[in-house]
Structure 1
Amino acid sequence: MPSELSEGLQIQSLRVELGGRAVLADVNLCQETGTYACLLGESGSGKSTLLATIAGLIRPQQGKVSIHGQVVSKDKTFLPPERREIGMVFQDAALWPHMSILDNVLYPLRARRLAVEKSRAMALLERMAIPTAAARRRPHELSGGQQQRVAIARAIIAKPRIVLLDEPLSALDHGVRENLREFLHGLFAEEGITALHVTHDPGEAFYLGRRVGVLNGGHLEQWDTPERLYQQPASLVVARLGGSVRAIQVPVLESRDKEAVLQWEGQRWTVPAASELQSASQATLLLRPSDLELDEAPTAAPEAQVRHAHWHDGQYLLTLQASDGQEFLAYSRQGDLGPRRWQLRRGQGWCIPLQSSANH
C-alpha cells in the first residue's frame, strides 16, 4: 500500500445509507497521487454514490475519506465540497449557458477567489483543441465533444487535488468518445493530476485506469490493475467484465500456493488459483476461449460436443458441452459441429471459491 504522503485518495470502511438502505457497504480503497483510476459497475451498483460521497455531496453513515492526506469525512468531521479542492466533470458537461467559454473555464478561480489567470485559461483551451475565436462563444455553439473538453479545462484550471469524472464520455458519439478517451489518457498523465472516473464501460475503464474498482450492489468486488482484474478476477462478476468467460464447477483435489489441482472430465488439471481456495472443496474454474486448445489436442485428451460455431475475428468461436453438461468456449480453425478433443493450456484458467451463478 502506498505511504501516507503518496495517497491521493483513501477510503476506509465507508458505509452510505439512502432511505434506510445501504447503498455502499464497507468500501476500502487507496489511490496514489497523480494516477488515473476508474470505478466500474452497472446502473445501481453505487459508483456514482461513491463519487458524490468523495465530493462531499453525500454524508456517509460510517467510514473515513481522505484526499491528499487530509481527512475530509470522518465521524464529526465533514468538509463541504467547496473546501475539498476538487474538480468535477459531469456526463452532460454542465456548462453555464449564459457565460462565454472563457468565463466558464475561469469560474472556479472566481468562485474560490483565486487569481484570475486568463492566459492560463486560454492556454488550456488551446490544449483542448478549442479555437481561440471560440473563447467568446456560448456553450451551445460548440459540439458535444468540444463542450466536454471545456468542462475538463474548467475542472483542472484551479489545480485541484483530485478531479472526479462522472460518466464523462457516455453521452458522446462513438468516434468522439474514442478521441476524447485518448485525449484524457494523455492530458492527465502529463499534468500528473489525481483523477477518479466513473463508467459502466469495461473497455473505457481498462484503457484509462491504472487502477480499476468494480462495484456490485454497493460492495467493492475488487480494486486492482486492469491486468489482474482480467487474469485473476476475485469473482464471476469481475471476470465477466473482461469478455467471454464460462464458469465451471469442479472439485479441488489439492490447493497449493497460487495454484490448485482440479478434477474434471477424467483429468487432473493444475491451474492458477486464488490463495483462499481450500483442498477438498468445490470451486469455480473460470475459462476464456483462449485458455483452451482444440486444433492440437492429443488423442488422449477429453472429448466434448461442439454445439454452436460462430465466425469471429478470423477463426471460429465454439460453444462446447462437456460430458457433465457444463459448457465452455474455445477458438478453432474448424467450425464443424460434433465431438472434438480439447485440453487446457498450461498455466491458463483461473480458479476461485465456488460462485453461485449460472453461465450465460
Structure 2
Amino acid sequence: MSLRLAFSSLLLTLLAPAAQAQSAQAGFQHQTTADGIEVGVWYPASGTPAHQPLGLYTQDVVPGAPLPEGRHPLVVISHGTGGDFAGHVDTAVALARAGFIVAALTHPGDNWRDNSHATRVEQRPAAFGATISYMLQLWPGHAAIDPERVGAFGFSAGGFTVLAAAGGRPDLTRFAGHCAQHPAFFDCALMASQPRVVSAPWPRLRDTRIKAIVVAAPALGFAFDRAGLANVRMPVQLWRADDDHILPPPFYADAVRAALPRQPEFHVVPGAGHFDFLAPCADPASMPQLCRSAPGFDRVAFHAGFDAAVVRFFSDKLAPRQPHPMAAFPRRLHEASHGHSGTHDAAAGT
C-alpha cells in the first residue's frame, strides 16, 4: 500500500465518526393540515443545528433542512389537556436524530388557546388518526415514511388518546362513581367545569396502522377494564410518575397496567410529578405550575434517560421486518429442480 493510500484510508477512518455525528440532527417544520390541525414535524437531517425557541421550550434543529430520503418509521405524539404540539419537543428531536419522522399535533378544542372541548375526549382519537393520514398521504415528505412502521406516543389525555386509537374502549359511565369519591382530582374538577352527559357506549375504534405505543401518566385510566383494553395487543411502554398529584396512583397508569392483555414495559419514576413528562422549560419561572419540578428532582437529567428509553423502545418494536428464513425455500426448490444454483442466478443477473 502506498503512503498516500494509507494516509487516505486513515483520514477516512478518522472522519467517519464525525460525519455520522454531523448527520444525526433533526429538521423541523410547522404545518397546518387542510382540516385545520396544527402539526409540528421533526425528521432526520444533516447540517449545523440552530438553537430556537418553541413556546415554553427550546430546540436544536437544522433550519431549512431538506426532507429525508429512504424509508423511516413514523411516531405521532398526542399532548395532554391544555397543551400543544411542542410539549414533548425534546423527545421528538431525540427520535428524529435516531432516524424517525415525528409528528405532534395540537388537539382542536383541547389546547392552551382553546379548551372548549376538553371533556369531549371522543374527538381526540379522530384528530390523532387524521394526523397519521396526513403524514402518510399529504405531508410533502410522505414518501420517506414506511406505513408499516407507525408508533404512537401520548401523555396524560394524550395517553388516553393513544390507548383509544390503538383499540381501547373506555367506559365513561365510571366517571360518576370515580368523581363521587375523588371530586378534587383534576379530571373530576374539569368535568365539573364542563359537564356532559355520557350515555352512548364508546364506538369500536382501532387504528391498525399503529404498531407500538408509549403511554405516560394516562388520563382516565380507571375507565378501562380488561374487556376495554382487550384489543390493545401491540407492544406498550407505560410510565408512571410516583409523585403525581394531578392523576395520582393507583387510578390511572396502574389501572391501565392491570387491564392490558399483555404485560407492558412498565416504568415508575421516583420523585417525579405529573408535568415532569413535559420537556424541560427554557425558563421554569415563566409557568411554574408546568415547568417547576419538586426540590431534588432533576427534569433535565430525567429526560435524558426518558428520551433514550423511548427511542430504544420504538427502535426495537418498529424495526424493519426481516424476511422469514423459509421465505426463499419455494424458489430454491424450483431452482434445484431445474438445475440452477443461486450463484449462477446472481452471476446471470436474474
Q: TM-score, normalised by structure 2?
A: 0.24
Q: TM-score, normalised by structure 1?
A: 0.24
From the two aligned structures, give the one with the greater strand fraction: 1
| Structure of higher CA gyration radius | 1
